[in-house]
Structure 1
Amino acid sequence: MSVLPIVSQQLSEAGYSVAALEEQSLKYLAFEGDTVLGFVLSFPDTGSLIEHWRSHSQQILKAAQFGLRRAEAKSWNAYLILLSAEPADYAGSVTLSAIEEDLTGTRKIARAGISVEEDARGALLPLLAIQNAPQLDAVDMAAEIRLRTTELPVELVDAFVGAASDSAILQMLEAGQ
Structure 2
Amino acid sequence: MTDIIEMAKQQLVDGGYSVKTTDDNDGPVLLFENDAVLGFVLCFPDAGIMLERWKEISQRIFTCEQFALRRAESKAWNAYLVLLTSTPGDYGENIMLGGIEEDLVGTRKIARAGVADAGDVCSALLPLLAIRNAPRLNALDMSAEIRLRTTELPRDLVEGFLSSASEGTLIQLLEEDK
- Identify whether the pair has TM-score above 0.5, normalized to the shorter chain: yes
TM-score with structure 2 length normalisation? 0.91
Aligned to 2:57: 56
1:70 and 1:88 map into 2 onto residues whose CA distance is 36
The amino acid of 2:127's aligned partner reads P
Where 1:22 maps in the other structure, the secondary structure is strand
The amino acid of 2:122's aligned partner reads R
2:149 and 2:26 map into 1 onto residues whose CA distance is 64
Aligned to 2:9: 8
Where 1:30 maps in the other structure, the secondary structure is strand
What are the superposed Cα offsets for residues 98-156 of structure 1, whole Å, 9 maximum, x if unpaired? 11111110010000111221111111111112233222111111111111111211111
Give the alignment of 1:59-78 within 5 angstroms: 59-78=60-79
Question: What value does the CA root-mean-square deviation take over the aligned residues?
Answer: 1.7
Unaligned runs of 5+ in 2: none
Q: In the alignment, is residue 121 of structure 1 matched against residue 122 of structure 2?
A: yes
Alignment check: 8 A CA contact 2:5 2:28 kept: no
2:91 and 2:153 map into 1 onto residues whose CA distance is 59
Alignment check: 8 A CA contact 2:84 2:112 kept: yes
1:26 CA displacement: 4.5
Unaligned runs of 5+ in 1: none
1:161 CA displacement: 0.9
Where 2:160 maps in the other structure, the secondary structure is helix
Pair 1:176–1:72, CA change in 2 (3 A) = farther
The amino acid of 1:77's aligned partner reads N
1:176 CA displacement: 3.9
1:118 and 1:23 map into 2 onto residues whose CA distance is 26
TM-score with structure 1 length normalisation? 0.91
2:26 and 2:127 map into 1 onto residues whose CA distance is 28
Give the alignment of 1:128-143 within 5 angstroms: 128-143=129-144
Aligned residues: 177
Where 1:86 maps in the other structure, the secondary structure is coil
1:174 and 1:61 map into 2 onto residues whose CA distance is 69
The amino acid of 1:165's aligned partner reads S
2:75 and 2:176 map into 1 onto residues whose CA distance is 55
Where 1:52 maps in the other structure, the secondary structure is helix
